[in-house]
Amino acid sequence: MWRPAPARHHRPVRPSPLPALLAARPFSTAQARASGVHPERLRRADLTAPHHGVRAPRARSDDDPHGAAPRVVDACRRLVPGLTDQHVFSHGTALQLWGLPAPSRLERDPTLHVTALSGREPRRPGVQGHRVAVPTAHVGRVEGLAVVSPIEAWLQTAPLMTLDEAIVVGDALAGRWSRHSSARRLPVQRLVDAATAARGRPGAVRLREATSWIRARVESPQETRMRLLVVRSGLPEFAVNIDVVDDQGRFVARPDGQYPDRRVAVEYQGDHHRADRETWRRDVRRRARLVALGWSVVEATDDDIAAGTRADFLDDLARLLS
């Protein structure tokens, strides 16, 4: 009696391995051809084509349409094989690469900004090309990526920022915000000089106004916004992130802002302060130490800063300073 042959289950053929130099990073199709990779291999599902003429190993986020957007550094790395050594990341992309607080609308924009130091600017979907005279001395590297200097990125992005946004980035450059040493603790005078030298460039007038508000030692964008709110409400400006010591010179606390002669400290309390147990406990201990020394502590939340001149904490601060 005839019986049909049992069905054979074919296992999917695994893609052949790529050369080691191409397996772990984005690469150009020209590099693949030069390494002997067959064109058919470049069409396999384990690779993506983020840009014309570029292939990249497929990340898990590519398979999940609801996954988090790739970090800007990953997006830049995927573009690099399609660039030349005369192309550098710039403008809002550079701000993000340097870990500076770019305005949220710029962070949400997936467009990558690339400047041509010489020759033709790149023309690709999802890429905004620029031709700007940028001396090579104003180019640095972040995680292996060529990028304009932090100050140059600030200058380039000025036309797209409000005055307060320019101040926030300036405070970050002069403060302790970025984890990159080249983008933090810069002398305020250096920023003033850069804004002055940028006379005639778009946004230069706004930057020159911003420099009068920039302060050293700022540790977060919300600290900047809190300081601007206090001063614009008519109250005196507080000193930023200065150590408080006891009568024996021992460290007690470093408030976000303080009025030493009145023994009044001003603290920003973000949501992470209450969400993280250790941070919340540390805040409680710091406040207790200050109160024990005779200090008063006024705290501002995101709601206070968003409320502007209607913020309740401004009334408390004004009462203590009166």
> What digits encode the pLDDT tens for the residues 22-78?
655 566 666 666 666 666 666 665 666 665 666 666 654 433 332 223 479 989 999
Specify the pLDDT at position 14: 60
Q: What is the pLDDT of residues 130-181, one digit of tens each?
A: 988 888 788 999 989 999 999 999 999 999 999 999 999 999 999 988 989 9
CB distance 158 to 211 below 8 Å? no
Distance CA 265, CA 244 (A): 10
Q: Identify the H or E element spanning 57.
A: strand 54-57
Domain ranges of the chain: 21-63, 72-211, 221-321
Task: Please state the φ and ψ torsions of residue 259, each to the nearest 5 degrees.
Answer: -115, 90
45 to 10, 13, 82: CA distances (angstroms): 18, 11, 21
Distance CA 216, CA 204 (A): 21
Q: Indicate yes or no: pTM above 0.85.
A: no
Stretch among 98-102, 248-252, 276-280 having the lowest mean pLDDT: 276-280
CB distance 74 to 159 below 8 Å? no
CB distance 208 to 195 below 8 Å? yes
CATH class of the domain at 221-321: alpha beta
Helices (H), the chain: 20-23, 29-34, 60-63, 72-79, 91-97, 104-108, 150-157, 163-174, 188-197, 204-211, 221-232, 271-275, 277-292, 302-307, 312-321
